[in-house]
Amino acid sequence: MILTGRQIEAAVGAAEIVIRPFDPSRMNPNSYNYTLGSQLRFAEGVLDARREVTWQSATIGNEGYVLVPGQLYLASTAEVIGSDTYVTSLIGRSSLGRLGLFVQVTADLGHQGAVHCWTLELTVVQPLRVIPGMPLGQVSFWSTAGSASSYSGMYGQTSSPMPFWPPSLA
């Protein structure tokens, strides 16, 4: 069952949900607006899912960074987000989708116990300038049924965009 905005805010206050930094003005009826961090990763050329990828890094300055079509970018949330109690789901803002920015097209599920800055997949259909700290999407929190176990995988404790890692496909 999805938590309401009031339940999310109460769970943050009770330390059942981590959103750091937390800004109450970014609450929605069933989600919280997360923002874009300042780091990007991208790869050039043909990517091979069987091999490690060499990633380039860029810092998004205050003037922004222009994303271009045909390029996959990895970014991260500016916030540390997660919970030992709830499952997270991150999606992009529909208003940015209408500008041709696709955020989190895959891998929107965050397991219980994963508390970190989330890696975001970004693609655009036309050049688009992004600014660090801009609202990029919403995170919602879901209760689980049954006995839960916390996530302990390699992506669970990061603060920057995590690149593709071939053994994760095994």
Residue 56 domain-assigned?
yes
Q: Are 139 and 104 in contact (CB under 8 A)?
A: no
Q: What is the distance between the alpha carbons of residues 71 and 85, in angstroms, rounded to a whole number?
A: 36
Q: How confident is the model at residue 169 (pLDDT cuts 50, 70, 90)?
A: low
- Note the pLDDT tens digit of each residue in 36-86: 999 999 998 888 888 888 899 999 999 999 999 999 999 999 999 999 999
Residue 166 domain-assigned?
no
Q: Is the pLDDT of residue 10 over 90?
A: yes
**What pLDDT does 170 receive?**
47
Average pLDDT, integer, range 81-103: 95
Burial tier of 146 (Cβ tally within 10 Å: 0-12, 13-18, 19+):
exposed
| CATH (domain of 93) | 2.70.40.10
Residue 152 domain-assigned?
no
Q: What is the distance between the alpha carbons of residues 111 and 100, in angstroms, rounded to a whole number?
A: 28
- Widest pairwise Cα distance in the chain: 48
Give the count of domains, the chain: 1
Q: Give catalytic status of residue 52 as yes or no.
A: no
Q: How confident is the model at residue 165 (pLDDT cuts 50, 70, 90)?
A: low
Residue 165 domain-assigned?
no
Q: Are 7 and 23 in contact (CB under 8 A)?
A: no
**Structural domain for 64, as ranges:** 5-45+52-142
Q: What is the distance between the alpha carbons of residues 131 and 120, in angstroms, rounded to a whole number?
A: 15
Residue 123 domain-assigned?
yes
Q: DSSP labels for 56-67?
A: EEEE-BTTBEEE
Instruction: Give me the count of residues in the chain.
Output: 170
